[in-house]
Each structure stands twice: as structure tokens, then as C-alpha cells.
Amino acid sequence: MFGFNLFKAPRLSIDLGTVNTLIYLDNELVLDEPSVVAIRDDRGTLERTVIAVGKEAKNMLGRTPGSIEAIRPMKDGVIADFSITKKMLQHFIRQVLNPGFFSPSPCVLVCVPCGATQVESRAIKESAIEAGAKDVFLIDEPVAAALGAGMNIGQSSGHMVIDIGGGTTEVAILSLNGVVYSDSLRVGGDAFNEAITRYVRRVHNVLIGESTSERIKEEVGSAFESTSVKENTYTGRDVTSGLPSKFKMGNAQVLEALKDPLSLIISSIKAALEQTPPELSSDIAENGVMLTGGGALLEGLNKLINQKTNLDVHIAEDPLTCVVRGGSVALDLIDKHNMSFLSSSD
């Protein structure tokens, strides 16, 4: 019926994210690598040679000579560079499949943003096929997140999922294994980092890189006012002198820096609630909101959403892997010939 044998072919659930790519192989997390590729432009040709992928490539960001560039082939949750994404996927798929033994072409399920266009979805499927997959399915990220969080979305009851990834935030109302309403914001962890970078330059007159802004977010980041004070010292480059410069950042400053991207997320949540049919609204009031993705780890975000919506906010267990785990659950459901939850673009 499906043109493949799920019981023999390896089954890969892939969360192809802007920041990280995660892969589940037969219900086990086998890969969690940065979605970064280091390439070298070969002089005199149009060829771009891949010299590193994942963690090794990420360590090269901002540190490469002129002939080598470390890039992120995914942007805002979708493919920005088709050829490099294909090579990255090929590398990751070969990395998780045992190269010493013959293995049938894998069945692959890829989690995609609800806002992905038909063209973007087709590019993702083609990349997976070019990377060696025999059969490729797509699933909307909020549906995968809900499955990974253990939510029972198969019943006629409304559930709200907010999945904050590196490139996008997905706000969705789910019922009967489908998406009743969704909004895909091109705001996520990357936007948080960029907001911190702009704040440090504006307030401290210091330039910092992506790794430093990420550290600030993780160490003293906050989305809600707190009476406790957290503060650390960081180093960047003084804009005026060009010399190394130390500065301090605390949770109150990060809260100020993140005001705009957080406001966009809150506005999207409120818009979703306004668009929800009354019957489902009462379900959501009872069930609360499920927060998934790396953004769920930002301290106080659940409190901020609760304050702005009066809804209970639950943080999924291991929110970083929620989407890819949900994809693995979906593959199990495909085994049972249940495909009602797959993306409409599939």
C-alpha cells in the first residue's frame, strides 16, 4: 500500500531545524548536531566543497579564512540553500545508518513548519530523497510536538501547542489529529540572540558574536520580571576602539532586550485564541497550553504567557526533543495505517 516495508527499512524521524538537526532512528535519539556546514569555494569552478558538518562546522563560525565559509543552510525553519541542505542531510543520514552493513533505503519523516509553502515543502522532500530516502513523509511541527508531549489530539477536544524553535515559533490549535488554526512566526531562538546582540551594542557599545549572545540567553536569560538578580561578565569588541571589552549582563537587561520578539509571540498567541471556535476555547481553558521547543527553556516564559492569557502553561518534558520524538510516534502510527495527522502538503 505504501510502497515500502517499514519493518525492514530504517525509520528516521528528522527535525530539520534552523539551529540544530535531530534524528530519531527506530525510537532512539541518535543525532543532535548543529545545522551548520563549512564549505570551501574552489577557485575557477562553481563547485562548493563541504569540509565539515555539524559541531565541527559550528566551531568554525566567525573563525574561517576567506576561502572557507561556515553557513546555516536552513533559515526560519525552511531551506535557504537547497544544495548544501541536501549535502548536510546526506552526511547526517549516513552518520546514523551503519555504513559497514547493507541497509535498505530509509523511510523518512520530516517535521516542517505549518507556514511552509508548497515550494518549501517540496524542497524538503526532494532534499531527503536526494539524500537517499526512499519514502518521505511530512508532518506539521505542532502536531509532532503534541505527539511528542504525549497529548491526546485524536479526540474532538481543543489543544493549544506553542513550539518555539531556533528559526520559528509555531502557535497552533489542534483537534482530531489536525490543525484547526496555526500561525508560523519567523521568530525564535535566533531572534532572541539577535535582539541580545543589538541591545549589547546599543547599551554597552560592544560587538558580540552568536556564541556569546547564546551564552547570555542561557545563563541570565529571562522572559519575566524576577526579584532575584542574576548577572555575569562577558567579553566582546568595543565598537569605538576595536579592542576587547568586558561588560555585564543581568536577567533584567535580557528581559528588556527580548521585549520585542516576546511581544510578537504573545500577540500571535492572543490572535490564535481570538480565532478559536467557542467550543474549542473552553477545551483550551481546561487543558491549558503546551510549551515545546528550545524556547520553552527560557526562564519565566511560561509565567509570561500565563500572565497575558490567564491559561495554565505546561512545559513539555525534554522540550528540545519533543518534535523529533513526536515524529517517531507518527512513524509508529503509519505502521498502523493511520496517516490522518500528516501534513496537508504531503
Report d(CA 28, CA 333) in Å as an integer: 16
> CA dist 92 to 6, 11, 36, 68, 131, Å?
20, 14, 11, 21, 9
Task: Note whether 241 and 281 are same-domain residues.
Answer: no
Closest by Cα among 117, 35, 22, 43 to 70: 35
**Is 2 within a domain?**
no
Q: Are 136 and 280 in contact (CB under 8 A)?
A: no
Q: What percent of the chain has pLDDT over 70?
A: 91
Report d(CA 85, CA 68) in Å as an integer: 17
Confidence of residue 337 (pLDDT cuts 50, 70, 90): low
**Is 64 within a domain?**
no
Q: What CATH code is carried by the domain that includes residue 268?
A: 3.30.420.40
> What are the pLDDT digits (tens) for 162-171?
999 998 999 9
Angle 77-80-83 from CA coordinates, rounded to 5°: 125
Could you tell me which residues come within 8 angstroms of residue 159 by beta carbon, excluding any fewer than 6 positions away? 146, 151, 153, 173, 174, 175, 283, 284, 287, 290
Instruction: Look at 44-58, 203-217, 275-289 and tell me which has the smallest mean pLDDT.
Output: 44-58
Could you tell me which residues come within 8 angstroms of residue 311 by beta carbon, excluding any fewer than 6 positions away? 160, 284, 285, 288, 289, 305
Report d(CA 163, CA 108) in Å as an integer: 22
- Average pLDDT taken over every residue of the chain: 89
Write down the pLDDT at residue 43.
Answer: 64
Position 262 pLDDT exceeds 80: yes
Cell numbers given for 306: 500565563
Task: Note whether 266 and 179 are same-domain residues.
Answer: yes
Write down the pLDDT at residue 341.
Answer: 63
**What is the three-class DSSP state of 106?**
coil
Task: Note whether 283 and 161 are same-domain residues.
Answer: yes
Write down the pLDDT at residue 40.
Answer: 86
> CA dist 320 to 42, 228, 317, Å?
37, 26, 9
Task: Note whether 176 and 311 are same-domain residues.
Answer: yes
Write down the pLDDT at residue 171.
Answer: 96
Task: Note whether 180 and 248 are same-domain residues.
Answer: no
**Is 59 within a domain?**
no
Task: Note whether 267 and 304 are same-domain residues.
Answer: yes
pTM value? 0.88
Task: Note whether 20 and 162 are same-domain residues.
Answer: no
Confidence of residue 3 (pLDDT cuts 50, 70, 90): very low
Task: Note whether 180 and 207 are same-domain residues.
Answer: no
Which amino acid, one-letter code, is at 335? D
Greater model confidence, 147 or 334:
147
Write down the pLDDT at residue 61.
Answer: 75
Task: Note whether 179 and 266 are same-domain residues.
Answer: yes
Task: Note whether 179 and 200 are same-domain residues.
Answer: no
**Is 315 within a domain?**
yes
Write down the pLDDT at residue 293.
Answer: 96
Which amino acid, one-letter code, is at 332? D
Task: Note whether 281 and 221 are same-domain residues.
Answer: no
Report d(CA 69, CA 79) in Å as an integer: 18
Range of the domain at 170: 152-187+262-319
Structural domain total, the chain? 3
**Is 272 within a domain?**
yes
Supply the DSSP symbol for 220.
H
Task: Note whether 180 and 125 are same-domain residues.
Answer: no
Residue with cell 495527522: 341
Rg of the Cα trace of the chain? 21
Confidence of residue 249 (pLDDT cuts 50, 70, 90): very high
> What are the pLDDT digits (tens) for 70-121?
889 998 778 888 889 888 988 998 889 866 555 678 899 999 888 788 888 8
E-assigned strands of the chain?
11-16, 20-25, 29-34, 37-41, 48-53, 68-71, 74-75, 78-79, 107-112, 135-140, 159-164, 169-175, 178-185, 206-207, 231-238, 244-250, 289-292, 313-315
Pair type for strands 107-112 and 11-16: parallel
**Is 63 within a domain?**
no
Instruction: Look at 30-34, 121-125, 148-152, 269-273 and tell me which has the smallest mean pLDDT.
Output: 121-125
Position 6 pLDDT exceeds 50: no
Position 192 pLDDT exceeds 50: yes
